[in-house]
Amino acid sequence: MNQWKNLANQLYRNVISFGMSYFIKINNTFKVLFIVLLSFSFNSNAFSEESTKDIIKKRKSLFSQNYKLAKRISILLNEVEIEDSKKLMLRMSDNYLELLTLFPENTKEGHGTEALPIIWEEKDKFDALMKKSSDQMIKLASIIEDQDDFRAALKQYMWSSCKACHSRYRAPH
């Protein structure tokens, strides 16, 4: 009789200890899963917030850089430094192409952006204008040495792009 009791006891303890260890395992798995999920959601939030800020900062800095390049180009042409001015024209062109990638959906507002919502309502038109501005700088570089009037050429191929885009897509500042 005692023998049976012992066996039942043994069995009972085994079942309990198996159950416990299973429970702890599950529990740990869930804990790990929970922590992983938590850090993921935290990270992805932080990540997207960070990237919004970075992208807006990046495009502002590229526009500012293009403004500086444009002024520099104008000065170089006054000094008839044609070859140097052409290099800067091509850099402006490249910057415009990079700018094409810097208007994703999550950068419509915040961080002092002056970009207007209409950009994303007609993204194709906006992108086409950016691409055209880039092409115009390549065109300018290819024709500049044959121009009599540098200022007129700059106006036609460089400065007109700024105005065409800002008047519709950038907030008055």
Q: How far apart are CA 154 and CA 3, in angstroms?
A: 104
Q: Between 26 and 128, whose beta carbon lies closer to ligand HEC? A: 128
Burial 87-123 (b: 16+ CB within 10 A, else e): ebbebbbebbeebeebbeeebeeeeebebbeebeeee
- Under DSSP, is residue 115 helix (H, G, I), strand (E, B) or coil? strand
Q: Between 42 and 84, whose beta carbon lies closer to ligand HEC? A: 84
Q: How far apart are CA 90 and CA 150, in angstroms?
A: 17
Q: How far apart are CA 131 and CA 9, in angstroms?
A: 81
Query: Phi and psi for 74 in degrees, rounded to 5?
Result: -60, -45
State the minimum distance, in angstroms, from the CB of residue 35 to ligand HEC: 37
Q: Between 58 and 147, whose beta carbon lies closer to ligand HEC? A: 58
Q: Between 129 and 141, whose beta carbon lies closer to ligand HEC? A: 129
State the minimum distance, in angstroms, from the CB of residue 127 to ligand HEC: 8
State the minimum distance, in angstroms, from the CB of residue 80 to ligand HEC: 21
Q: Between 76 and 115, whose beta carbon lies closer to ligand HEC? A: 115
- Under DSSP, is residue 104 helix (H, G, I), strand (E, B) or coil? coil
State the minimum distance, in angstroms, from the CB of residue 107 to ligand HEC: 7
Residues near ligand HEC, by CB under 6 A: 56, 59-60, 63-64, 66-67, 70, 113-115, 129-130, 133, 158, 161-162, 165-166, 169-170
State the minimum distance, in angstroms, from the CB of residue 138 to ligand HEC: 14
Cα 20 to chain centroid distance, Å, stands at: 50
